[in-house]
Amino acid sequence: MTNSPNKHKKNSHLSSSRDYYPAFLDISGKQCVVIGGGKVAERKCLPLIMGGGRVVVISPQLTQRLEALKDKGLLRHISRHYRKGDIKAAFVAIAATDSREINTKVAAEAAMHNTLLNVVDTPLLCNFIVPSVLRRGPLTIAISTGGVSPAMAKTIRKNLEVLYSAELSKYMRLLNSIRTKAMKEIPDKTKRSALLKGLASQKIMRILVENGFRRARNIALTSLQTMISE
């Protein structure tokens, strides 16, 4: 017997888990509003600043670190509580307050203006959630449990931090320079593709993990020079 569409829809609203569409957003130069000025808001502001967003924090008070970021011109501070209209021009908004009343009002406004909104620890008020993130140079790994358990996402991230150590950051930067050089000096697309696939293979990953960055770098640079000279 098949489930009726209405029954499936009803059940989906009872669960905090959803099937999200994963994406990486370009927020460079876009207005990003954070409501709240505590430690949670601080954690949410840092990636927005790193991503090049124009960060606006709305809160009567700020943490010392947020004050320091404001003094450096990395964010703008509106020293008061949230008011209707505060996120009207925002590309992304994050509600990081401990007031359910305020968070609900922000969610209602976000729905009105089709603003991307994350309400911390309240997935059902969000239209996007923030994953647990591991960065290794240009590599970004985002982990999400669909809102079921942010704590589990964090645990998985910590396991990946051990598997993909800081050595990988160095190798990713090396790959970037090798790819740039290969694009200029290896006109044959097939040869170039073979080189880059080889330098991103399971074999080279094992060498990186077991023998370290220096060994992987030597192999990568030798492969590049061999391909160029052929």
Average pLDDT over residues 210-229: 95
pLDDT confidence tier of residue 146, bands split at 50, 70 and 90: confident
- With contact defined as beta carbons under 8 Å apart, do 74 and 42 qualify? no
**One-character DSSP codes across 65-107:** HHHHHHHTTSEEEE-S---TTTTTT-SEEEE--S-HHHHHHHH
**One-character DSSP codes across 195-226:** HHHHTTSHHHHHHHHHH-HHHHHHHHHHHHHH
Task: Tell whether the model's pLDDT for residue 188 goes beyond 70.
Answer: yes
The pTM (predicted TM-score) of the whole model is 0.79
Domain coordinates of the chain in residue numbers? 25-130, 131-164, 166-229
pLDDT digits (tens, 9 = 90+) for 14-45: 345 678 899 999 999 999 999 999 999 999 99
Amino acid 16: pLDDT: 52
Average pLDDT over residues 219-229: 95
pLDDT confidence tier of residue 211, bands split at 50, 70 and 90: very high
Amino acid 163: pLDDT: 87
Amino acid 230: pLDDT: 81
CA–CA dist 61, 70 (Å, integer): 12
Give SS3 for 37.
Answer: coil
Average pLDDT over residues 153-175: 93
**Ramachandran class of 46: left when φ > 0, alpha when ψ lies in -120 to 50, beta otherwise:** alpha
- With contact defined as beta carbons under 8 Å apart, do 118 and 95 qualify? yes
**What CATH number does the domain located at 25-130 have?**
3.40.50.720
Closest-CA residue to 112 (of 76, 81, 87):
87
